[in-house]
Chain A
Amino acid sequence: MDLAKVKDEDKLNLCRKYYIGGFAFLPFLWFVNSVWFFREAFLKPEYQQQKQIKTYVIRSMIGTAIWIAIITTWVVLFQTNRVAWGITADKISFLIPKGIP
């Protein structure tokens, strides 16, 4: 899709749909939303729907940041404590590496 050829209301619609979709545990969608509409929201000259697009993009960026924080904490926690946790860690492990840790 080329945003340059899309009408303004459609752009707003798309941005909003991506924003709402991101609430379904989809930080990637929020990330894509913020990157894709970044230029539209901040670097283009003013047009009618831009204010709303801007709010959606900012909220998507915040959402992405929050999720990245959550994911990083969890992954670090898991990787460092996997051996220590014993049975529980094994149960939630998708892959248990071979060899001696």
Chain B
Amino acid sequence: DTLLYGAKHVIMLFVPVSLCMAVVVATISSVTFYTEKGGYLVYTPFHDGDKADADTGTKVWQSVANALILLGVICVMTIVLLLLYKFRCYKVIHGWLIASSLMLLFLFSYIYLGVVLQAYNVAMDYITVALLMWNFGVVGMICIHWKGPLFLQQAYLIVISALMALVFIKYLPDWTTWVVLGVMVIWDLVAVLCPKGPLRILVETAQERNEPIFPALIYSSTMIWSVVGMADDGSDKKKKKKKKSKKKPEAATAEPDRVEEELDGGFLEERPTRQLSQSTEETARAVRAARVLGDTENGQRTNSPRNPTREEEEEEEEEERGVKLGLGDFIFYGVLVGKASSNGDWNTTLACFVAILIGLCFTLLLLAIFRKALPALPISITFGLIFNFTTSLLVQPFADRLSASQVYI
């Protein structure tokens, strides 16, 4: 019983996840914009806990309430997405996805550029900025939604995940972030593994229909090579469905909804509520299950068309088994590490980073054993949370004492 994935696949996922986390941490440590509390999402109405004189009880109940509200919104968005998918309203879904990635690529990166330039005190004129943003955005849309070099597509997905994570870190109250992460773990487990879980139904429906699931929002480590409707295609290419750890950033799809509701699209600091990022996040969260479309299913589907066109497919016989990870997972890993680093302590940041990578290893191992769609969040985030709190509470004072008294271990 050989494992479906080897070390190579693990490394193929390590690099993008680490890059995403590195970008988030680098930004948080150099740019103060994302750690200032400037406004809150409309979905987290309880944020008195952030005031300096709040007591623990208030913080706790408020975070839990906020997290539950967010969870509710995500449930609703997931179910809406599922219904849209079931009733084949593909146009709506695609429009949603395109609008949300438009917003991510243009609006959020514009703000990011402004903030970074401000931090480094560099002058810039509108003309250059317009040209830069236009190029970045359009090429991004082309690479993600249409055809483009794989490397560039991966790079863009990493960038938008990092941007999304930064937005989350900014707009969620402190304790709420942690509780939300915990709640997401549970939601992910439930939604992907339970037979009635919406995400599982989504995956199974997609499998029945032999379609790739929103390829625009999944990070794939190798080429996606799928042909829909192979029966009528003259050059009958095999449908190679890679193992997908699929976490679709459905939040991204929900984003456009919010955009319409926002009266002015301005993303200025003085606005008290930030609905924009939230919808993106929901979409991301809604489809955050790591799915692995098992090789067995793959095999069943590819074996039948293989025979009739054996000659022309012989050169394609070697299957590239790649791993797919949904963008929502990238986003949440980024949120975890970014939040850990925003407390200013490198030990904790590194510990969380390592924890997430270890969790990812385990998840891939399980993936290789079970050969089904699996949620990628639970193990990594659990490890990350444990490591974060134990490091900041236990290891950090210990390390401080040691270096204060010049004792080196």
* B149 near A92: Cβ-Cβ < 8 Å: no
CB distance from A70 to the nearest CB of B (A): 10
| B 112-129 to A, binary, CB cutoff 8 A, 1 in contact else 0 | 001001100111111111
Scoring B121, B126, B127, B135 by chain A CB atoms within 10 A of each residue's CB, the highest score goes to B135
Knowing A26-B138, A32-B139, say if A95 contacts B223 (CB, 8 Å): no
A32 surroundings in chain B (CB, below 8 A):
139, 148-149, 152
CB distance from A11 to the nearest CB of B (A): 11
B131 surroundings in chain A (CB, below 8 A):
25, 71
**CB of A14 closer than 8 Å to a CB of B:** yes
**CB of A99 closer than 8 Å to a CB of B:** yes
* B123 near A97: Cβ-Cβ < 8 Å: yes
* B125 near A93: Cβ-Cβ < 8 Å: yes
Q: How far is the CA of A29 from the CA of B127 in the complex (A)?
A: 18
Give the contact-size bracket for chain B: 20 to 34
Task: State which of A2, A36, A75, A98 has its C-beta within 8 Å of the C-beta of B225.
Answer: A2
B114 surroundings in chain A (CB, below 8 A):
94-95
**CB of A27 closer than 8 Å to a CB of B:** yes
CB distance from B306 to the nearest CB of A (A): 16
Main secondary structure, interface of B, reads: helix
The residue on B at minimum CB distance from A77 is B125
Give the contact-size bracket for chain A: 20 to 34
Q: How far is the CA of A78 from the CA of B126 in the complex (A)?
A: 11
Task: State which of A2, A29, A93 has its C-beta within 8 Å of the C-beta of B150.
Answer: A2
**CB of A69 closer than 8 Å to a CB of B:** no
**CB of B204 closer than 8 Å to a CB of A:** no
Knowing A1-B148, A95-B124, say if A29 contacts B139 (CB, 8 Å): yes
Q: How far is the CA of A23 from the CA of B224 in the complex (A)?
A: 29
| B 133-176 to A, binary, CB cutoff 8 A, 1 in contact else 0 | 01110110010000111101000000000000000000000000
CB distance from B142 to the nearest CB of A (A): 7
Knowing A71-B128, A95-B114, say if A29 contacts B123 (CB, 8 Å): no
| A 73-89 to B, binary, CB cutoff 8 A, 1 in contact else 0 | 01100110010000001
CB distance from B45 to the nearest CB of A (A): 34
Q: How far is the CA of A95 from the CA of B131 in the complex (A)?
A: 15
**CB of B235 closer than 8 Å to a CB of A:** yes
* A97 near B121: Cβ-Cβ < 8 Å: yes
The residue on A at minimum CB distance from B128 is A75
**CB of A7 closer than 8 Å to a CB of B:** yes
The residue on A at minimum CB distance from B150 is A1
A89 surroundings in chain B (CB, below 8 A):
125
* A96 near B123: Cβ-Cβ < 8 Å: yes
* B123 near A36: Cβ-Cβ < 8 Å: no
Q: How far is the CA of A90 from the CA of B72 in the complex (A)?
A: 47
Scoring B129, B139, B223 by chain A CB atoms within 10 A of each residue's CB, the highest score goes to B139
Knowing A1-B148, A2-B150, A94-B129, say if A28 contacts B124 (CB, 8 Å): no
Within 8 A of A (CB), among B209-259: 223, 225, 235, 237
B297 surroundings in chain A (CB, below 8 A):
none
Knowing A1-B147, A26-B138, say if A95 contacts B122 (CB, 8 Å): yes
A92 surroundings in chain B (CB, below 8 A):
125-127
Q: How far is the CA of A92 from the CA of B235 in the complex (A)?
A: 54
CB distance from A95 to the nearest CB of B (A): 5
Knowing A1-B149, A28-B136, A94-B114, say if A78 contacts B316 (CB, 8 Å): no
A25 surroundings in chain B (CB, below 8 A):
131, 134-135
CB distance from A93 to the nearest CB of B (A): 5
CB distance from B122 to the nearest CB of A (A): 6
Within 8 A of A (CB), among B318-351: none
B138 surroundings in chain A (CB, below 8 A):
21, 24, 26, 29
Known contacts A2-B223, A14-B147, A97-B122, then 20 further A-B pairs from the complex at CB < 8 Å, ordered by chain A residue: A1-B147, A1-B149, A2-B150, A5-B223, A5-B237, A5-B316, A7-B235, A21-B138, A24-B138, A25-B131, A27-B135, A28-B135, A28-B139, A71-B128, A89-B125, A94-B117, A94-B125, A94-B129, A95-B124, A97-B123
Could you write out 7 A-B pairs with CB less than 8 Å apart? A2-B223, A14-B147, A78-B128, A92-B125, A93-B125, A96-B123, A97-B123
User: Which residues of B come within 8 Å of A, CB atoms?
Assistant: 114, 117-118, 121-129, 131, 134-136, 138-139, 142, 147-150, 152, 223, 225, 235, 237, 316
User: Which residues of A come within 8 Å of B, CB atoms?
Assistant: 1-2, 5, 7, 14, 21, 24-29, 32, 35-36, 71, 74-75, 78-79, 82, 89, 92-99
